[in-house]
Amino acid sequence: MSYPLERITWLDAAFMERADQDDEFEPVECNTVGYVIRDTPDTDGVYVVLAGEISEGGAHDFRWVTTIPAGMITHREELAQKATLTTATL
C-alpha cells in the first residue's frame, strides 16, 4: 500500500477559560504532517485522515491518527511522493 506524506494547514477551534469583549476570538492555525491514509472522494472532500506512523501487519497498522474536516483546511502540501511500504523498508 502507498500513502503520500503531506503537511496540512488547518484552523482548529479555540478554547478560553475566561474572556472579556476586548479579547480576540479566532480559531488557531495548526500544521499537521502525516501520511494521508484516507481522503474522501467528494469534490470539496468531507475530511482527510493522516497517520503519524504506519506499520505493516497486525490489527493496528496506523498510529497517531488525526481526522481533519475538509472545511477547516486552508492549505495542503505534498512533502514526498507516494512511497510503497514493505517489511524490508520498515
Q: Where are the domains of the chain?
A: 2-15+28-80
pLDDT in tens, 4-30: 999 999 999 988 777 787 777 889 999
For residue 89, name the pLDDT band (cuts at 50, 70, 90): very low
The CATH T-level fold of domain 2-15+28-80 is SH3 type barrels. (2.30.30)
pLDDT in tens, 38-68: 888 665 568 999 999 888 765 568 899 999 9
Give the three cell numbers for residue 77: 502540501
Strand partners for 84:
2
Rounded to an integer, what distance in angstroms lies between the CA atom of residue 10 and that of residue 77?
12
> For residue 61, what pLDDT is reported?
85
1, 66 Cβ separation under 8 angstroms: no
Burial readout 74-86 (b: 16 or more C-beta within 10 A, e: otherwise): eebeeeeeeeebe
Question: DSSP readout, 26-85?
Answer: -PEEEEEEEEEEEE--SSS-SEEEEEEEE-SSSS--EEEEEEEEGGGEEEEEEEEEEEE-
